[in-house]
Amino acid sequence: MKFIGKEASLEIPGPRVHLRLISQQETELIRQWRNQDHIRVWFKYSEIISQDEQQVWWEGYQQRHNDLMFIIWQQAQARPVGTVALYHIDLNAGSAEFGRLIIASADDRGKGLAQEASQVLLDWARQELSLTRISLEVHLDNAPAIALYRKLGFSELGSCGQFLKMEVRFPPGQPG
Ligand SMILES: CC(C)(COP(=O)(O)OP(=O)(O)OC[C@H]1O[C@@H](n2cnc3c(N)ncnc32)[C@H](O)[C@@H]1OP(=O)(O)O)[C@@H](O)C(=O)NCCC(=O)NCCS
C-alpha cells in the first residue's frame, strides 16, 4: 500500500482558484458551510454536524492517508470560497472518489469556480497520482451538480437508492 503525504505545503494552482489542503483552523468554517440546509441536503450524511463531531472527523481525517480535502481559494480576493476532496485514493488500483464539493455562498456560484476547482483537482490526480478512474455519487435531484459532472467528463453508471454513480476514466500512460 502506497501512502500520500499530507504536507501542509500541498497547493494546486489554477487560473482563478487554487486548492490548499485544509488545516485545523478551517474546520469550523467548513462545518458552518456544510451545516447550511441548502448544502447538507445533498450529502449522504445530511444531519447537522456538532463541533464535537467535527473534531472527531478531523482527528480521523488526519490519520487517513487516502483522503485529501482542499479549501478552494479565490485568488483575486484571497478568500476561501468552498471545498473539494479526493478520498478512498488507491494508488495501486489507480482510483479514487471525488466529492465534498461546495461553493458556499450564493454570491460565488454560477461563476465557474466549482468547475475550475474540480478540473484542477482531476488534472492533478491524473498527472501527479497517475489515477485512471475517478468515481463519485451525487443525489439524483441535484441537477446543478450532475450538469457540472457531465461537463467534467463523468458519465453515469446507474443509480443506487437516491444517488447516481458517475465515473471518469483516463487512459493510462497519457498525462492530461
Ligand atoms: C454544485 C455547485 C458546487 C456548483 O458550483 P458553481 O461554482 O455554481 O458551479 P459553476 O459555476 O462552476 O458551474 C459549472 C457548470 O455546472 C452546472 N451548473 C452549475 N450551477 C447550475 C445550476 N444552478 N443549474 C444548472 N446547472 C448548473 C452548469 O453546467 C455549469 O456550466 P455553465 O455555467 O456553462 O452552464 C454549487 O451549486 C454547490 O455548492 N451546491 C451545494 C453543494 C452541492 O450540491 N455539492 C455537490 C455535492 S455532489
For a pocket test of ligand 1, which of 109, 152, 159, 163 has the largest count of ligand atoms closer than 8 A to its C-beta? 109
Contact 137, 162 (CB under 8 A): no
Q: pLDDT digit string (tens) for 86-119?
A: 999 999 999 999 999 999 999 999 999 999 999 9
Q: Nearest residue CA, atom 30 of ligand 1?
A: 148
- pLDDT at residue 3 in the model: 58
111 CA from centroid of ligand 1 (Å) = 9
Which residues line ligand 1 at a C-beta cut-off of 6 Å?
Answer: 39, 42, 101-103, 109-115, 138, 142-145, 147-148, 151
Q: Nearest residue CA, atom 18 of ligand 1?
A: 144
* Nearest-angstrom CA–CA distance, 124 and 11: 10
21 CA from centroid of ligand 1 (Å) = 22
173 CA from centroid of ligand 1 (Å) = 31
Q: 0.75 cut: is pTM over it? A: yes
Please compute, for residue 21, the number of CA atoms within 13 A of its CA located in the half-sphere on the CB side. Answer: 17
What domains are defined for the chain?
A: 11-169 (3.40.630.30)
Mean pLDDT, the chain, whole residue set: 94
Pairing of strands 95-103, 133-139: parallel
As a whole number of Å, the end-to-end CA separation of the chain is: 25
Q: pLDDT digit string (tens) for 119-163?
A: 999 999 999 999 999 999 999 999 999 999 999 999 999 999 999
* Nearest-angstrom CA–CA distance, 3 and 141: 35
- pLDDT at residue 10 in the model: 87
Helix orientation angle between 51-63 and 27-35, rounded to the nearest 10 degrees: 120
Compare 172 and 128 and report the one with higher pLDDT.
128
Hey, what long-range contacts does 39-46 have (CB within 8 A, 24 or more apart)?
39/102, 39/104, 41/139, 42/138, 42/139, 42/142, 42/145, 44/137, 44/163
**83: pLDDT strictly greater than 60:** yes
Q: pLDDT digit string (tens) for 34-56?
A: 999 999 999 999 999 999 999 99
Residue 39: other Cβ atoms inside 10 A = 15
